[in-house]
Structure 1
Amino acid sequence: MTQLWFAFALLLLPALWLLILPLRRAEGVRAAQQVAEANELDVEQNLAIYRRRLASLEAARERGDIGDERFEEDRLELERSLLEDTERANRRPLKSALSGRLLVPIAMIFLVVASVFWYRQQGAEGDLALRAAQQQVLQQPDASVSELVEALEQQAARQPENANVWRSLFPLYRDTGRVAEAESALHRLIELEGRQPALLAELAQLRYFAEGRTLGEDTQALVDEVLAEAPDQPTILGMLGIEAFENGEYRLAIDRWRRAIAGMSDNRSAEALRQGIETAQRRLAAAGEASDEERRNMTSGKNESPDAVIDKVVE
C-alpha cells in the first residue's frame, strides 16, 4: 500500500505543477497585455477616424450615392463603433501579477484532498489490500488453507462491504466442508451484489449437497427462481442432472448436462459432465433404451456407480 500511495503522489505532482504554471507566467502575460493596450488607438485617434468616416458618408449622401435611410444606418453603426472603442480605452488598470496568488495553494490542497477522497470512494484500495493479504500467505513455503482463510477473514472484518472478499472466502469454506460459513459468505455476497442467478445457483447447489443430495423446499424455491430468470444456468442444470441421474432418469440427466455444458466456460467441469453423459448413455444401452446414435457416441469404459459419476461431476 505504501508503494501505491507513493505512485499516487507522483501522479499528482504534474497536476500541481500545472496549477503553479500560470502564476509563474503571470508577470510576462501582464507585461504583454500592457504593451498591447499601449499600442491601441487612443480616444482622440478614434474621434478623428469617426469624423473622417462621417464626412465620407455625408459626401456620399450629397452625391446621391446613398439615400437618407442608408445614411442613418451607417451613421448609427459608426457611433456604435466609437462607443465600443471608447469603452475599451477606458478599461480598468491591470492588477498586479501576484494578485490572487493565494488561490493557487488553496486549489492545490483541494486537488489533493478531492483526489484522495475520490480514490477511497471509487478506487480499488480494498481489492489491493485483499490481494496483498492473499499473496503474503501464498508466498510462504508452508502455507495452508487455514492460514489463507484466516487472512481473508481478517480482511472481511476490515472491509465487510467488499464483495470480492466474500467471493474469495466462499469457495474455501465450501471446499473445506465448512458449509455454514460458506452459506453465510454466500448470503453476504448476495446482499452486496443482488440476487444474481449465478449466486443463487451456487446457494442452491450448496444446500442440495448439504441436505444429502435432496431437493428440499427451500432449495427447490431457489431452483425455480434461477430458472425463471436464466433457464440455461449451468450450475443449476448440472445439479438437476445429478438429481435425474440418481433417480435413474438417464435421458433427462443427459439432456440437462448437455445444456449445462453449452453454458460453461470451465473446461474441467465440462469434461466431468461429458464423462457423466457417457456413463448415463451406457446405462441406457444396458437397459436397451439407447438410440443408435447414442450407441455410436458411447466410448468404452466401465459402468461406474452413481456415486462415482456424481463425484466426478461435482469435483
Structure 2
Amino acid sequence: MIEFWLSAGLLLLAALAFLLLPVLRGRKLQAEEDRTALNVTLYQERLRELEDEHQAGILTAAQLQAGRDEAARELLADTEGAGSRPGTGVLGGKVPLIAALLMPLLGYGLYLHWGAIDQVERAQAIAEQPRSIEEMTARLEAAVEEDPESAEAWYFLGRTYMAQERAADAAKAFERAIGVAGREPALLGQWAQALYFAGDKQWTAQLQGLTDEALQADPAEVTSLGLLGIAAFEDGRFAEAIEHWQRLVAALPEQDPSRQAIVGGIARARERLAPAAEAGGDAPADAAAPAQLTVKVELAAALREQVQPGDSVFVFARAVSGPPMPLAVKRLTVADLPAEVRLSDSDAMMPQLKLSGFDQVQLVARISRKGDATAGEWVGRSQPLASSSVEPQRLTIDSVDGQAQ
C-alpha cells in the first residue's frame, strides 16, 4: 500500500502546483504594485519640495522645470514594465488558495466514497506467498468475511479446505460460490466432489443431479468426469469407470500431470473388468479394494531434544515417476510418534492422483514447525517400493530437511 499512497501523493502535489502557481505569481505582482505606489508617492513629495524651493526664491523657473523633468525620468525608470503586467484582484488570489487547501480533503472524501482501497489491500494480501496452508486458509476466510460476494474467494477457500481434507467445509464454500457466481459447470463439479468425500463416498441422488447438470452444460467438465469414474470404480462398475476416465483423458491437455494417474486407473479398471466378464458377473468385492500402505513412523533418538511435541509431522507417499505432489497424506504431531499410519486412495489430495494409479512410490515423513508439508526441518525417506506392498514399512525421521517437496 505504500506505493499506492506515494503515487497518490505525487499526483496531489502536481495538482497543487497548478493551483498555487497563480497565487505565487499574484504575490510577486502585488509586491511590484506596492513598489510602484511608493515611487509615485516619492515623486509627488519631490515635486512639492521643488515648488517650495521655487516659492522661497531658491530655485529659478528654469531650475524648477529641470527638477520636475529629472523627477519624472526617475519615476519612469523605477516603474518601467510594471504597467504592462495585469493586476491580480483579491478574488483571483484567494480562489486558487482555497481550492488548494480543499483539494486534499475533497480527493480523500471522493476516494472513500468511490474508491476500492479494501479490494486493493485484499488483492495484495492474497498475492503474497503464504508460509503455510493454514496461513492461506486464514487469509481466504478473512477475505470471504470482508466480502461475502466474492465468488473467487469462496472457490479458492473450498479448494484449500479440500487440500486439508476438510471436505464438509469445502462443500459449504463451493455452495456459497455457486450462490454468488451462478451454477457454473466447474463449480458444480467441485461441489459434488466435496459432498462425495464428506459423505464417506456414498453416491446420492444429489451428486448424480449435480454431475448431470455440470456435464450437460459442459461435456468436458473434468471434475465431474473424474468423480463419476471414481464412484463407478469403487462400486465395481469398471466399464462405466473406464468410459468416464477415457472422456476425462481426452479433455485434459497433453502435458497435464494427472493424465498418467488416470491412464493407470483405466488400466486397473480393465484388469478387474476381465475376471468379471469371464465369470459372467461383477468382480469379487475385494478385487476393487484400493491400494493401502502401512507405515510405522519413528523419530531418531538424536533428534528428540531438538523437536517440540506440537511440531507437525506429514507422512505421505509420492510417485517415483510422476507429479511431485503427494498421492496420499496423513498429518500427525511429534507427540504422536512413534505411530502406525495407513495410506490409501481415500487419503488422496486430488481424486485424479491416487496411490493405486502408480506402480512405484516413495514414502516420506517430514517434521515442519510452520505446518508446511512441502518444506520443514527434518525428514525421513524410504527407498522406492510397490504401491501394492502389503508388508508394513518402517520410516525413521533422521536427517535435516534440505529439499522441498
Tell me the TM-score normalised to structure 1 length. Answer: 0.58
**Structure 1 segments of 4+ aligned residues over 6 angstroms from their partners:** 27-30
- How many residue pairs match? The answer is 227
CA distance in 2, matches of 1:187, 1:116: 32
CA distance in 2, matches of 1:24, 1:173: 56
Shift of 1:151: 6.0
Partner of 2:264 in structure 1?
275
In structure 2, the CA distance between the partners of 1:127 and 1:192, relative to structure 1 (3 Å rule), is farther
Task: Judge conservation of contact 1:130–1:165 (CA < 8 Å) in 2.
Answer: no
**Structure 1 residue 217 and structure 2 residue 212: aligned?**
no
Q: 1:123 aligns with which of 97, 108, 119?
A: 119
Q: 1:98 aligns with which of 90, 93, 110?
A: 93
SS at match of 2:11: helix
SS at match of 2:95: coil
Shift of 1:276: 0.6
Q: 2:188 aligns with which of 178, 194, 200?
A: 200
CA distance in 2, matches of 1:152, 1:214: 29
The structure with higher relative contact order (CA 8 Å, sep 6+) is: 2
CA displacement 1:18-47 (0-9 Å, x = unmatched): 3223334437999xxxxxxxxxxxxxxxxx
Task: Say which structure is richer in strand.
Answer: 2
CA distance in 2, matches of 1:313, 1:221: 21
5 Å-filtered alignment, 1:87-236, equals: 96=89, 97-98=92-93, 100-101=95-96, 102-120=98-116, 123-130=119-126, 135=130, 138=131, 149=137, 152-154=140-142, 156-236=144-224
Shift of 1:10: 1.0
Partner of 2:247 in structure 1?
259
CA distance in 2, matches of 1:119, 1:277: 53
Name the Cα RMSD after superposition. Answer: 3.7
Tell me the TM-score normalised to structure 2 length. Answer: 0.46
CA distance in 1, matches of 2:15, 2:109: 15
SS at match of 1:236: helix
Partner of 1:307 in structure 2?
290
Task: Judge conservation of contact 2:16–2:100 (CA < 8 Å) in 1.
Answer: yes
Task: Judge conservation of contact 2:154–2:177 (CA < 8 Å) in 1.
Answer: yes
In structure 2, the CA distance between the partners of 1:284 and 1:16, relative to structure 1 (3 Å rule), is same
In structure 2, the CA distance between the partners of 1:183 and 1:103, relative to structure 1 (3 Å rule), is same
Shift of 1:197: 1.2
Percent identical among aligned pairs is 30
Task: Judge conservation of contact 1:245–1:306 (CA < 8 Å) in 2.
Answer: no
